[in-house]
Structure 1
């Protein structure tokens, strides 16, 4: 069953001329979504990378229900509430040491906007003229203006180019070319005295699930420290166990000056994001001069119901079995990926934690590769939710997924690729 072609809804990242009908989903449970016609669909990409423990995970659902009966919403300027206080304290307990303050927002892109404003506000308030931002090639940080500005320029944002600010770009540290990235970053830091370097740690998501080692992340952090450049870690996707540790920065043993977390923050149940920063950045905005206030807000900042979901999620991550489950999924993913190790249809098989990716040999590589929509359509018919990034197929499931589920997913990939080739 598909949604009515005449629906007034404009769906995200959807070309309605090519995909006029949507699949109505009536409920979710565990690793599955259930369509209105009764079909179970394996959610192999965690519904755009947000669902961690599974759909409608009981402890999170209970927390949402209980909070909705007590306090649904309150202005967060001049007021606070227990769920937000619990989330802030819990985050500072779990995140890399040295992060000291928590600013709430409602999406990954917004958390990045907050991070950029924090960095620029910091240097303005301490009397240094530093405004340039350094980014990594192929990066993606969201679809608001600031987030697009620090992401890769191309099909995602070509129409909005007049609105975007200029940035400095370092090359992606591809295998064998890591030093070129480090040299470029050092040169820009010395020449331009930028305010901040923003990066997706270990895995570049929408850029094609590109992966690089923790030693490179550690060295980029060292270079920034040596030049007084703020290091912003966009862990919107890489956080919450995706890369094999709770947060990707742990593998490099670094603490960013500013960190962005969203997606799995509530286990995927509610929209909520946070931007964490060091004491120095907060202190630079702390003043009797109201002009040094950090001017950012949204109407639903730290919504109590969303915070209750996040608090329940943090409680789950304090349990050893949660991390053990994520580790088990990582191991299962590696086993499943091996079936294509010597398959000439694919190249660059890769895994980081619970994320796997492989590139299909295609005449037109990249996000607009014609093979992407073809594969997506076949996966839909196979009752598997996979959404290739052009010629790149990736699997990023909820942690409740079973080995049988993953066998089905990888069998669907095998069959779909056979059909399109």
Structure 2
């Protein structure tokens, strides 16, 4: 490593508090200084390349340095970078809201900058809706075992990942947790669908007793990502929708990680044939180029806030709400979906990866279990005696030129959609060698 690179790392450690990190680990695990990206590849300051197998925390859809998204941002920069969205509006935010409504069937969009903020907005809107409708007892939220919805205080209240939540428990508002429909938790001989229905029955039992105090249930449709890509049958979402209708509560679909094609359809709820009352979107919405999130909701919910009294309005705001540059990136991202038949291409690439994986003889000999795939997401667990497997594999993969970040003993792939067949082959081979080195 050159002296200039070493200086950059030292400066970063002296001034930057890196996210989701125990900073002391960087005494032995060096930061990776990235200077450029292209397609699925990142390049560090020494010219070493890394295949971005996790889409830079699940945000990058169409690769780094994409000309169409960059051009849209540049064009918008010549017109308007940002304007307050209270009392003002602009073309990109209106266009984006119209196009998202055409995709989801939900009438109004409220903007923020990140996924946790979207969760906060949806929870507040649901609570405030029932208050405005005179049903002030409906103040509690339901969420799923092992669910993750962000790390701000409201989002943590409906998150069930102890590593993130336990420290802040005294600050959080208690909610109720339902059994996860994750098919890995099924009994021997029980199908994914049967287990999902059993979990739905548990939800029904709870709501029969507590629906009067329940405002909403929030779920990650089809895949609970942060708990290790826990996948479940779409029948669960169908049953939840019916229960929400029966007992008058809102269904909040947190598609922050799984939206925009990750599960094989534009939005995961499409595979259940349902419409939520709220949908939370972020991450891939701009293709990974600029921060943006949005909560979409129904016209009925919007109407509950439409009143002469200011206090009945939704008085929530973020300084960069509906940022014009971010909206332009999101519009370019939607254009790529429209122009390139992305979902069909993804299905072909998913088939190719699955076939390639099955054809690797060394792969079958490894101590792996629960190999699973939904859309452009793959995951499996590694059976190992190494308590530090997560770090061992991460470092071995980096040495091999591959960016993968296991969740505990779960290794997963979530690559940008532009990955080619030859790059898929290379990713699988390097994963195989990294597994052998870390077991």
Q: Give the match for residue 191 of structure 1.
A: 209
Q: 1:202 touches 1:248 (CA, 8 Å); kept in 2?
A: yes
Q: Deviations over 1:37-61 (max 9, x none)?
A: 1112111110000000111211110
Q: Aligned to 1:5, what secondary structure does the other structure show? A: helix
Please give the residue correspondences for 1:210-249 in structure 2 after superposition, counting only pairs within 5 Å. 210-249=230-269
Q: 1:244 touches 1:326 (CA, 8 Å); kept in 2?
A: yes
Q: Aligned to 1:195, what secondary structure does the other structure show? A: strand
Equivalent-residue separation in structure 2 for 1:162 and 1:306 (angstroms): 36
Q: Give the match for residue 17 of structure 2.
A: 10
Q: Give the match for residue 182 of structure 1.
A: 200
Equivalent-residue separation in structure 2 for 1:153 and 1:410 (angstroms): 29
Q: How many residues were matched structurally?
A: 415
- Pick one of 36, 54, 65 that aligns with 1:45: 54
Q: Give the match for residue 170 of structure 2.
A: 162
1:410 and 2:428 matched: yes
Equivalent-residue separation in structure 2 for 1:153 and 1:287 (angstroms): 39
Q: Aligned to 1:60, what secondary structure does the other structure show? A: helix
Between stretches 243-252 and 64-73, larger displacement belongs to 64-73
In terms of fraction of residues, the more helix-rich structure is: 2
- Pick one of 80, 87, 90 that aligns with 2:99: 90
Q: Deviations over 1:241-275 (max 9, x none)?
A: 10010100010000000000101101111110100
Between stretches 176-185 and 224-233, larger displacement belongs to 176-185
Q: 1:189 touches 1:224 (CA, 8 Å); kept in 2?
A: no
For structure 2, the 5+ residue unaligned runs are none
> What's the TM-score, normalizing by structure 1?
0.95
The structural deviation recorded for 1:13 is 1.2
The structural deviation recorded for 1:344 is 4.5
Q: Give the match for residue 280 of structure 2.
A: 260
Equivalent-residue separation in structure 1 for 2:65 and 2:345 (angstroms): 17
Equivalent-residue separation in structure 1 for 2:357 and 2:404 (angstroms): 15
The structural deviation recorded for 1:363 is 4.0
- The runs of at least 4 aligned residues of structure 1 exceeding 4 Å deviation read none
Equivalent-residue separation in structure 2 for 1:280 and 1:137 (angstroms): 30
1:133 and 2:141 matched: yes
1:77 and 2:86 matched: yes
Q: Deviations over 1:272-315 (max 9, x none)?
A: 01000011111111100111010211100011101111111111
Please give the residue correspondences for 1:4-403 in structure 2 after superposition, counting only pairs within 5 Å. 4-7=9-12, 8-20=15-27, 21-95=30-104, 97=105, 99-128=106-135, 129-173=137-181, 174=183, 175=186, 176=190, 177-193=195-211, 194-338=214-358, 339=360, 342-363=364-385, 370-403=388-421
> What's the TM-score, normalizing by structure 2?
0.92
- Change in Cα spacing, 1:245 to 1:62, as seen in structure 2 (3 Å) is same
The structural deviation recorded for 1:153 is 4.2
Q: Aligned to 2:64, what secondary structure does the other structure show? A: coil
Equivalent-residue separation in structure 2 for 1:235 and 1:82 (angstroms): 25
Q: Aligned to 1:416, what secondary structure does the other structure show? A: helix
Q: Deviations over 1:161-190 (max 9, x none)?
A: 111111111111134332331122112222
For structure 1, the 5+ residue unaligned runs are none
